[in-house]
Amino acid sequence: MGEQSLKNIARPVRAYRVVAATGSAVARAGSGPALPDKPSIAVLPFAYMSVDPERDYFADGMVEEIITALSRIRWLFVIARNSSFTYKGRTVDVKQVGRELGVRYVLEGSVRKAGGRVRITAQLIDALTGTHLWADRFDGSLKDVFDLQDKVASNVAGVIEPALQAAAAARLSGRPTTNLTVYDLYLRAFALVGPSNQQAPDALRLLEEAIVHDPHYGPALALAAVCYSVLISDGRGEDPDLDRLKGLDFSRRALKVAGDDPGVLVNIAVSSSYFGEDLGAMTALVDRALAFNPSFARGRRISGTLRVWAGQPDIAIEHLEISRRLNPRARVGGLSANIGITHFCSRRFDQAPPMLLLAVHDDPSQAGRYRFLAACYAHMGRLDEGARDGQPAPGHDTCCNAAGRKFSDEG
């Protein structure tokens, strides 16, 4: 652990950490702890870059708030402050930190104060490869230090969560399908359905395999329910009534084991809403998820979607914009579609088409986006544009084709 200053000892002494060997996680001589079986992160002390270094407690408080916020993410293993702060004031190699603490990811950053303003920068690094996964900066006023700390911690937690899950899914997506754990199967499915609903059938096969191995694994059950709702909404299922029953069964089974997992709760809520469950109850379920993790970007987006269906477009826009801020690097299509549909339902027909067109260009396979776009043009009397832009991509054989043709024929 390097040289450490101890009470009643004049000079620094070199300290070592001893790792017990247990089960399969046997630590080799000279190595750190084995990696946990889920994404793991250490938040290093932020460098304090201002002229008054004796006030670096501000940077320490910022890091502590970030650690606390990240610790609320149930699927994430977060190293405690006392361990990560052993690196304070030292020039460290991120790969070495990862080995010594037994983590896959390291968050580091800096704090700079000038007058009444403060700038915080942060970057997320894969400690095994040294790859930079995410970086951002935050500027604010020092009038209320604690509010600023809360804001930064919330935003960092919100943007890191999808970055970590996407990175973990990307590592696993290229592996063969043999001898994978239930978690591996789930992440492979998440990698398929996360970017686009087009691969929902392939994701569903992986999820059903995972559920065979573990019938009580909530994330797989909830995501399988979402995949069935996608098949129904896109008109790709061979038997919509049977798909609804299967999806509803997965959703109800997931709810029994969901506990306080925000990701499971929001997937249950959005899929069950498609299946016809009580919308008020599903909205309450999302609110419960956001109470556990207010920085959950996908939770905010699903909340916005359900608020539209519940006839609350103003609240929907608010939650969708929060989702955009929490995950600014998310694929634009899904969120743009949500915002466009919300404008349409609010009868803001002039604001909806740009968002819906962006969503269509991002993923031309989504039938519902064409329907809303065509209907929006019809409300504005722009029938020629509606006939043109309301047509799905060639070869996309869904109920939207018939809707587009009918619009073209009858206006």
For residue 115, what pLDDT is reported?
76
Residue 269 has pLDDT above 90, yes or no: yes
Q: What percent of the chain has pLDDT over 70?
A: 77
For residue 196, what pLDDT is reported?
67
For residue 7, what pLDDT is reported?
57
Residue 66 has pLDDT above 60, yes or no: yes
271 vs 68 pLDDT, higher one: 271
For residue 184, what pLDDT is reported?
77
For residue 394, what pLDDT is reported?
45
Residue 141 has pLDDT above 70, yes or no: yes
Q: Which of 37-41, 75-79, 121-125, 144-148 has the highest mean pLDDT?
A: 121-125
| 371 contact partners, CB below 8 Å, separation of at least 6 | 390, 400, 403
> What mean pLDDT is predicted for residues 140-152?
72
For residue 22, what pLDDT is reported?
36
For residue 323, what pLDDT is reported?
82
> What mean pLDDT is predicted for residues 204-229?
93
Average pLDDT across the chain, whole number: 79
* 397 strand-pairing partners: none
> What mean pLDDT is predicted for residues 10-38?
58
For residue 366, what pLDDT is reported?
75
389 vs 219 pLDDT, higher one: 219
What are the two backbone dihedrals, phi and then psi, of residue 6, each rounded to the nearest 5 degrees?
-120, 155
- 55 band by pLDDT with thresholds 50, 70 and 90: low
Residue 286 has pLDDT above 60, yes or no: yes
For residue 399, what pLDDT is reported?
37
For residue 1, what pLDDT is reported?
64
What are the two backbone dihedrals, phi and then psi, of residue 384, each rounded to the nearest 5 degrees?
-65, -45
Could you identify the residue written with the tokens 């260009």? 361
Pairing of strands 117-126, 132-141: antiparallel
For residue 56, what pLDDT is reported?
73
For residue 281, what pLDDT is reported?
94
Nearest-angstrom CA–CA distance, 303 and 266: 8
CA–chain centroid gap for 360, Å, is 22
Length of the chain: 411
Query: Coil, strand, or helix at residue 138?
Result: strand
Could you identify the residue written with the tokens 């919330």? 154
Lowest mean pLDDT among 45-49, 106-110, 334-338, 393-397: 393-397
* 111 strand-pairing partners: 48, 120
Q: What percent of the chain has pLDDT over 90?
A: 25
For residue 408, what pLDDT is reported?
38
- 180 band by pLDDT with thresholds 50, 70 and 90: low
Domains of the chain: 31-167 (3.40.50.10610), 174-293 (1.25.40.10)
pLDDT in tens, 98-137: 998 888 899 999 988 877 788 888 898 989 889 888 888 8
For residue 252, what pLDDT is reported?
95
Q: How many CA atoms lie within 13 A of 251 on its CB side?
A: 25
For residue 204, what pLDDT is reported?
94
For residue 410, what pLDDT is reported?
34
> What mean pLDDT is predicted for residues 59-63?
81
pLDDT in tens, 353-407: 999 998 888 878 777 888 898 999 899 888 777 666 666 554 444 333 433 333 3
Lowest mean pLDDT among 117-131, 237-251, 329-343, 383-397: 383-397
Query: What secondary structure does DSSP assign to 30-42, as a single string?
Result: T--PPPPSS-EEE
